[in-house]
Amino acid sequence: FSVGLDVLNATNNKQNSDDPDGEFFVWLGQAQYVRRIDPLGIEFLGGLTLQIANDSLFALEQFAVGGRYSVRGYWENYLVRDNAFLFNLESRIPMFPDFFGPKVSVALAPFIDVGRSWEAKRNTPDPQTLASIGTGIRLSFFNRAHASLYWGQQLNHVQDPPDGGVQDQGIHWEFVLDIL
Protein backbone atom coordinates (compact mmCIF):
# COMPACT_ATOMS: atom_id res chain seq x y z
CA PHE A 1 0.00 0.00 0.00
CA SER A 2 1.06 3.56 -0.61
CA VAL A 3 -0.87 6.47 0.85
CA GLY A 4 -0.38 10.13 0.08
CA LEU A 5 -1.35 12.66 2.73
CA ASP A 6 -2.13 16.35 2.45
CA VAL A 7 0.55 17.55 4.86
CA LEU A 8 1.37 21.28 4.99
CA ASN A 9 -0.20 21.72 1.51
CA ALA A 10 3.14 20.76 -0.01
CA THR A 11 1.53 19.07 -3.02
CA ASN A 12 -1.84 20.77 -3.10
CA ASN A 13 -2.96 21.21 -6.72
CA LYS A 14 -6.20 23.15 -7.13
CA GLN A 15 -5.89 24.22 -10.80
CA ASN A 16 -7.35 21.00 -12.21
CA SER A 17 -9.03 18.32 -10.13
CA ASP A 18 -7.61 15.60 -12.44
CA ASP A 19 -3.99 16.68 -11.83
CA PRO A 20 -2.07 14.71 -9.19
CA ASP A 21 -1.83 16.03 -5.67
CA GLY A 22 -0.58 14.66 -2.38
CA GLU A 23 -3.75 12.71 -1.53
CA PHE A 24 -3.96 9.23 -3.04
CA PHE A 25 -4.17 5.54 -2.22
CA VAL A 26 -2.31 2.90 -4.26
CA TRP A 27 -2.35 -0.88 -3.95
CA LEU A 28 0.33 -2.96 -5.68
CA GLY A 29 -0.01 -6.73 -5.70
CA GLN A 30 2.34 -9.31 -7.18
CA ALA A 31 2.25 -13.08 -7.57
CA GLN A 32 5.01 -15.28 -8.94
CA TYR A 33 5.24 -18.98 -9.73
CA VAL A 34 8.40 -20.96 -10.46
CA ARG A 35 8.55 -24.67 -11.22
CA ARG A 36 11.50 -26.83 -12.18
CA ILE A 37 10.94 -30.12 -13.95
CA ASP A 38 13.62 -32.68 -13.18
CA PRO A 39 15.55 -34.48 -14.62
CA LEU A 40 15.44 -32.19 -17.67
CA GLY A 41 16.05 -29.04 -15.63
CA ILE A 42 13.42 -27.04 -17.51
CA GLU A 43 12.08 -24.11 -15.48
CA PHE A 44 8.73 -22.38 -15.87
CA LEU A 45 8.30 -18.86 -14.48
CA GLY A 46 5.05 -16.91 -14.32
CA GLY A 47 4.24 -13.54 -12.88
CA LEU A 48 1.26 -11.26 -12.35
CA THR A 49 1.40 -7.65 -11.20
CA LEU A 50 -1.53 -5.33 -10.57
CA GLN A 51 -1.46 -1.70 -9.45
CA ILE A 52 -4.71 0.11 -8.65
CA ALA A 53 -4.85 3.80 -7.71
CA ASN A 54 -7.88 5.81 -6.59
CA ASP A 55 -6.57 9.12 -7.95
CA SER A 56 -4.07 10.62 -10.39
CA LEU A 57 -0.49 9.96 -9.30
CA PHE A 58 2.83 11.75 -9.56
CA ALA A 59 5.33 10.01 -11.85
CA LEU A 60 7.21 8.50 -8.90
CA GLU A 61 4.13 6.47 -7.90
CA GLN A 62 3.01 5.52 -11.43
CA PHE A 63 3.61 2.10 -12.98
CA ALA A 64 5.88 1.72 -16.02
CA VAL A 65 5.02 -0.81 -18.74
CA GLY A 66 7.46 -1.73 -21.48
CA GLY A 67 11.05 -2.90 -21.54
CA ARG A 68 13.26 -5.59 -20.07
CA TYR A 69 11.43 -6.05 -16.77
CA SER A 70 7.83 -5.80 -17.97
CA VAL A 71 6.94 -6.20 -21.67
CA ARG A 72 10.06 -7.05 -23.65
CA GLY A 73 10.23 -5.89 -27.26
CA TYR A 74 9.13 -2.35 -26.38
CA TRP A 75 11.06 0.66 -25.15
CA GLU A 76 11.77 0.87 -21.43
CA ASN A 77 8.95 2.69 -19.63
CA TYR A 78 6.96 3.11 -22.86
CA LEU A 79 3.72 3.56 -20.90
CA VAL A 80 3.83 5.26 -17.48
CA ARG A 81 0.37 5.48 -15.90
CA ASP A 82 -1.58 5.31 -12.65
CA ASN A 83 -2.99 1.77 -12.98
CA ALA A 84 -1.50 -1.30 -14.62
CA PHE A 85 -1.80 -5.03 -15.10
CA LEU A 86 1.21 -7.13 -16.13
CA PHE A 87 1.44 -10.82 -17.07
CA ASN A 88 4.71 -12.64 -17.86
CA LEU A 89 5.30 -16.28 -18.74
CA GLU A 90 8.77 -17.66 -19.49
CA SER A 91 10.41 -21.07 -19.73
CA ARG A 92 14.13 -21.73 -19.40
CA ILE A 93 15.36 -24.75 -21.31
CA PRO A 94 18.94 -25.90 -20.59
CA MET A 95 21.08 -26.17 -23.72
CA PHE A 96 24.28 -28.25 -23.90
CA PRO A 97 24.08 -29.25 -20.20
CA ASP A 98 27.32 -31.29 -20.19
CA PHE A 99 29.30 -29.42 -22.84
CA PHE A 100 30.63 -26.56 -20.70
CA GLY A 101 30.85 -28.46 -17.41
CA PRO A 102 29.08 -27.71 -14.12
CA LYS A 103 30.34 -24.12 -13.74
CA VAL A 104 28.80 -22.72 -16.93
CA SER A 105 25.17 -23.01 -18.02
CA VAL A 106 23.32 -21.92 -21.14
CA ALA A 107 19.53 -21.77 -21.38
CA LEU A 108 17.06 -20.87 -24.11
CA ALA A 109 14.23 -18.70 -22.73
CA PRO A 110 11.04 -18.30 -24.81
CA PHE A 111 8.49 -15.89 -23.29
CA ILE A 112 5.11 -14.16 -23.56
CA ASP A 113 4.55 -10.72 -21.99
CA VAL A 114 1.33 -8.68 -21.79
CA GLY A 115 0.84 -5.34 -20.06
CA ARG A 116 -2.07 -2.94 -19.87
CA SER A 117 -2.10 0.49 -18.24
CA TRP A 118 -4.63 3.26 -17.77
CA GLU A 119 -5.08 6.56 -15.97
CA ALA A 120 -7.14 6.81 -12.79
CA LYS A 121 -9.04 10.02 -13.61
CA ARG A 122 -7.71 11.42 -16.88
CA ASN A 123 -8.44 10.15 -20.39
CA THR A 124 -6.03 7.37 -21.30
CA PRO A 125 -4.38 7.78 -24.71
CA ASP A 126 -3.70 4.81 -26.99
CA PRO A 127 -2.03 2.40 -26.81
CA GLN A 128 -3.24 0.98 -23.53
CA THR A 129 -2.02 -2.58 -24.10
CA LEU A 130 1.43 -3.89 -25.04
CA ALA A 131 2.00 -7.57 -25.88
CA SER A 132 5.02 -9.49 -27.13
CA ILE A 133 6.43 -12.93 -27.71
CA GLY A 134 10.07 -13.76 -28.11
CA THR A 135 13.06 -15.68 -26.97
CA GLY A 136 16.24 -15.14 -25.07
CA ILE A 137 19.49 -16.80 -24.22
CA ARG A 138 20.83 -16.84 -20.67
CA LEU A 139 24.42 -17.61 -19.67
CA SER A 140 25.71 -18.23 -16.13
CA PHE A 141 29.40 -18.38 -15.22
CA PHE A 142 30.74 -19.86 -11.96
CA ASN A 143 27.67 -18.66 -9.99
CA ARG A 144 29.25 -15.18 -10.02
CA ALA A 145 28.18 -13.71 -13.34
CA HIS A 146 25.32 -14.02 -15.74
CA ALA A 147 24.39 -12.51 -19.06
CA SER A 148 21.12 -12.48 -20.94
CA LEU A 149 20.07 -11.39 -24.39
CA TYR A 150 16.35 -11.20 -25.22
CA TRP A 151 14.53 -10.41 -28.43
CA GLY A 152 10.81 -9.62 -28.31
CA GLN A 153 8.42 -9.28 -31.23
CA GLN A 154 5.76 -6.62 -30.70
CA LEU A 155 2.26 -8.04 -31.19
CA ASN A 156 0.74 -4.57 -31.50
CA HIS A 157 2.72 -1.93 -33.35
CA VAL A 158 3.38 1.32 -31.53
CA GLN A 159 5.19 4.51 -32.48
CA ASP A 160 8.88 4.12 -31.62
CA PRO A 161 11.03 7.15 -30.91
CA PRO A 162 13.22 7.92 -33.97
CA ASP A 163 16.49 6.98 -32.30
CA GLY A 164 17.44 3.80 -34.16
CA GLY A 165 18.86 2.01 -31.09
CA VAL A 166 18.69 -1.71 -30.37
CA GLN A 167 15.46 -1.23 -28.41
CA ASP A 168 13.83 -0.34 -31.76
CA GLN A 169 14.59 -3.92 -32.80
CA GLY A 170 13.11 -5.40 -29.61
CA ILE A 171 16.51 -6.32 -28.17
CA HIS A 172 17.30 -6.16 -24.44
CA TRP A 173 20.55 -7.33 -22.87
CA GLU A 174 22.07 -7.49 -19.43
CA PHE A 175 25.36 -8.51 -17.80
CA VAL A 176 25.64 -8.91 -14.02
CA LEU A 177 28.80 -9.63 -12.03
CA ASP A 178 28.52 -10.51 -8.33
CA ILE A 179 31.81 -9.50 -6.74
CA LEU A 180 30.91 -9.85 -3.07
Residue 104 to residue 155: CA distance in whole angstroms: 34
Res 129: pLDDT = 96
DSSP tag of 158: -
Question: Please, which residues bridge with residue 53 across strands?
Answer: 26
Q: Does domain 2-177 have CATH number 2.40.160.50?
A: yes
pTM of the model: 0.86
Question: Please, which residues bridge with residue 114 across strands?
Answer: 87, 131
Torsion angle (degrees, nearest 10) of CA 150, 130, 2, 48: -70
Q: Where are the alpha helices (DSSP H) in 19-137?
A: none
In the predicted structure, residue 19 carries a pLDDT above the cut 70? no
Enumerate the domain spans of the chain.
2-177
| 95-153 pLDDT tens trace | 987 777 778 899 999 999 999 999 988 888 889 999 999 999 999 988 889 999 999 99
Contact 86, 70 (CB under 8 A): yes
